[in-house]
Amino acid sequence: RAGLDTRIIGRELVFFDETDSTNLRARELGDNGHPEGTVVIADRQTAGKGRLGRYWASPPAVNLYTSILLRPPILPYDGPQLTFLSAVAVARAVEEIGGLRPLVKWPNDVLLGGRKVAGLLNEMNAETEGVRYIVLGIGVNLNMRPEQFPDDLRYPATSLAIETGREVSRLAFARALYRHLDSLYGEYLTSGFPPVIRAWEEMCDLIGRDVEVDCQSRLIRGRVEGLDTDGGLLVRAEGTLEKILAGDVRPLER
């Protein structure tokens, strides 16, 4: 277990100098019956995948690209809960290793100083009766320099080194991340989603604030109340509680 002080995460560790995408490798391992907690790490990815079919810049030697195989006894409907769990784990590791206070942004970004420092891509293999496996794909910009970011990014991005002004140990970060994931996942298996909701809400600065949501060509203005049990964002708009399942949330000027 490579010195990991964990119960589930890191039960098997598979390392690649180079691979197309750690999510693809983890899904293969999932298809081939590897146990939950199997972790894939790559030094670089040649086809790192982002959400919405985008790509994830994955230069060698600087960042963390990892995918974790889980087999939670849940219904497919609850799969998105694991995204919030991994966002909290990443944010805790950023806080521990970087000494900075990160924020989570709905649905699944982790921000430092308002800029994206990590990306999460969860993929689920399920049938109606249950989940076969879920792969948590996590990319964290650790030591990436400004010139290494792609020019066509649609959002402001940063790295831990840019924010702290010092180099971050990838090993120390990975260890911290797997430890936080392990304890959150252990708690999730016994207590379900509520503890994750509370932890996530504590790291979200939009709770209680007025926002504007672009949601399926509808513009909703209201106050964020929190996270629902299915991961939807609860926004109170003119007395009605709206649940946002997809969309872009922006704070209104204070």
Q: Summarize as ranges the residues that interact with ligand BTN (CB under 6 A).
A: 21-23, 45, 48-51, 54, 56, 65-67, 119-121, 137-139
Is 116 a known ligand-binding residue? yes
Give the helix ranges, DSSP H, for the chain.
22-31, 81-98, 160-164, 170-191, 194-202
The minimum distance between CB 34 and ligand BTN, in angstroms, equals 17
The minimum distance between CB 23 and ligand BTN, in angstroms, equals 4
Is 22 a known ligand-binding residue? yes
Is 125 a known ligand-binding residue? no
DSSP for 72-130, written as a single string: -S--GGGTTHHHHHHHHHHHHHHHHHH-S--EEETTTEEEETTEEEEEEEEEEEEETTE
The first and second tokens of residue 5, run together, are: 């002080």
The minimum distance between CB 22 and ligand BTN, in angstroms, equals 4
Nearest to 93 by CA among 170, 196, 155: 170
Is 45 a known ligand-binding residue? yes
**Between 121 and 213, whose beta carbon lies closer to ligand BTN?**
121
Which residue minimizes CB distance to ligand BTN?
119
**DSSP letter, residue 52:** G
The first and second tokens of residue 219, run together, are: 């513009």
**Between 177 and 227, whose beta carbon lies closer to ligand BTN?**
177
Question: Where is the binding site for biotin, in residues?
Answer: 21-23, 45, 116
Question: Where is the binding site, in residues?
Answer: 21-23, 45, 116
